[in-house]
Amino acid sequence: MTDKKPVVVVGAGPAGLIAATAAKKNGASKVILIDREKHAGGILNQCIHAGFGLTQFQEELTGTQYAKRVYDMAEAEGVEFIYDTTVLSIDENKVVTTVNQNGVTDIEAGAVVLCTGCRERSRAAIRIPGERPAGIYTAGLAQKLVNIAGMMPGKRVVILGSGDIGLIMARRLTLEGAVVCAVVEVMSRPGGLARNIAQCLDDFNIPLYLSHTITQIKGRKRVEGVTIAKVDDKMRPVSGTEFFIDCDTVLLSVGLIPENEIAQNAGVALNPVTNGLSVDENFMTTLKGVFGCGNALHVHDLVDNLAIESAKAGENAALFTLNGDFEKSEVQLKTDAHFGYIVPSRVSGTKPVRIQFRVREPHKNAIVQIGSFKKKIPFLQPNHMESVTVPAEVFKNEKEVTLCLNEN
């Protein structure tokens, strides 16, 4: 029994490109990949720095080079692309409603894969006091301005947040001629990879202020400077530690939030902690035949890991159109307080599962345990998504299994 309805993939960033390729490879009769931009590539189009595909292709590619690789693979596989088109909604029958210059079109899908990526957290969301001068950008927007439009956001920059995007932009702005005065991080540890601290900050002697935050942005029409203060262990500014940095630009790199309006409006369950999709071991959401992967599921550090997940999601979407539903995933996966989250949220217990998770604090040589399965992991860090393949027996006949961590 072959369902002639297509697999529809929403979003042609790396997750969508890889999921679409896998869906076609695994027997889907037709795969349609929809993106609101005029090109595939998603966020990779503005990632002109290297560090992509090290594991997958054994080469250190730039984001744009990696995007081309996975786009070429999708094209070669016969994926059909629809650009400049926004998906407005999906319903419980997997009808995908789209809009573009030609009007509104409904596509009846046999399966849907949501690869809608994420958005940046804004100044409003973190409430930095001050007026509303020009010169305040989220790091990703600044990246787009510099790398695509050729516009510098300013001349003297302070960056709030030491996640990878903030670090990458510290380097990019320096290379393109700005002065990056400081990177300010509210936590006591950097948010991004150690290699990025080295090659983006240390290489250029850019100071990193850990356990500090911006308490005020000065300036009426244009940013004139920022007040920075140390914070205590509850992240509250400590009176008397304030100092002022003269600058005309503030970049905010304060978090990415999965973009799941389509899912939410369709009544699809989200993980309340991450705002990512809640999926089972097949990457299927709570809406049958609707799958999710990439940053819409959980925010990734490395595209190579996203590739593994997205290939599986695409494969399963194809299998769903060919064979119907999978074994019911009714075993709930939980974590103890050491972890931020776990993907998937539920499993069937009939096959091994590659679980993915993040810890809240760094741990050396800790043992992660789920049911009877244990694994010692030398270095666990919050900014490093971790994965472990767990045998099916661990979940069999259980209602709920908890991922725990034992310090050594």
Binding positions for another protein, rule: CB under 8 A: 38, 45, 48-51, 54, 60, 62, 64-65, 68, 146-151, 174-177, 193-195, 197-199, 203-204, 301-302
Q: How many CA atoms lie within 13 A of 157 on its CB side?
A: 31
Residue 212 CB, nearest approach to another protein (Å)? 22
Nearer to another protein (CB atom), residue 1 or residue 149: 149
Smallest distance, Å, CB 68 to another protein?
5
Looking at the Cβ atoms of 385 and 390, the one nearer to another protein is 385
Q: What is the CA radius of gyration of the chain?
A: 22
Tell me the torsion sign for CA atoms 24, 347, 12, 194. Answer: negative
The least distance separating another protein from the CB of residue 134, rounded to whole angstroms, comes to 20
Burial of 36 (0-12, 13-18, 19+ CB in 10 A): middle
Is the bond preceding residue 133 a cis peptide, omega within 30 degrees? no
Ordered DSSP codes for 241-275:
--EEEE-SEEEE---EEE--HHHHHTT--B-TTT-
Q: Is-contact 284 290, C-beta < 8 A?
A: yes
d(CA 154, CA 179): 9
Give φ, ψ of 265 to 5 degrees.
-65, -25
For another protein, give the closer residue by CB, 60 or 261: 60
Nearer to another protein, 210 or 302 (CB): 302
Distance in angstroms (rounded) separating the CA atoms of residues 141 and 223: 17
| Least Cβ distance, residue 204 to another protein (angstroms) | 8
In contact, 284 and 326? CB cutoff 8 Å: yes
Looking at the DSSP bridge assignments, the partners of residue 183 are 159, 208
Rank residues 50 and 392 by Cβ distance to another protein and give the closer one: 50
**Structural contact between residues 227 and 244, judged by C-beta atoms closer than 8 angstroms:** yes
Of 64 and 350, nearer to another protein (C-beta) is 64
User: Parallel, antiparallel, or unpaired for β 31-34 and 80-82?
Assistant: parallel
Q: How far is the CB of 48 from another protein (least distance, A)?
A: 4
Return the number of the residue (59 or 232) whose C-beta is nearest another protein.
Answer: 59
Question: Is the CB of 29 or the CB of 381 nearer to another protein?
Answer: 381
158: CB partners within 8 A, 6+ apart: 180, 181, 182, 183, 184, 214, 226, 228, 245, 247, 249, 250, 251
Q: In terms of CB distance, is 196 or 211 closer to another protein?
A: 196
Between residues 52 and 395, which has the closer beta carbon with respect to another protein?
A: 52
Give SS3 for 282. Answer: coil
Q: How far is the CB of 63 from another protein (least distance, A)?
A: 9
Least spacing, CB of residue 103 vs another protein, in Å: 22
> From the CB of residue 59, how many other CB atoms can be counted at a distance below 10 Å?
12
CB of 167 to another protein, least distance (A): 12
Q: How far is the CB of 316 from another protein (least distance, A)?
A: 27
Q: Which helix (H) or strand (E) holds 81?
A: strand 80-82
Smallest gap from residue 41 Cβ to another protein (A): 9
Residue 307 CB neighbours (<10 A): 26
Q: In angstroms, give the least distance from the CB of 179 to another protein.
A: 11
108 CB neighbour count, 10 Å cutoff: 12
Task: Report the residue number, 75 or 242, with the smaller CB distance to another protein.
Answer: 75
Structure tokens at 344: 């998937």
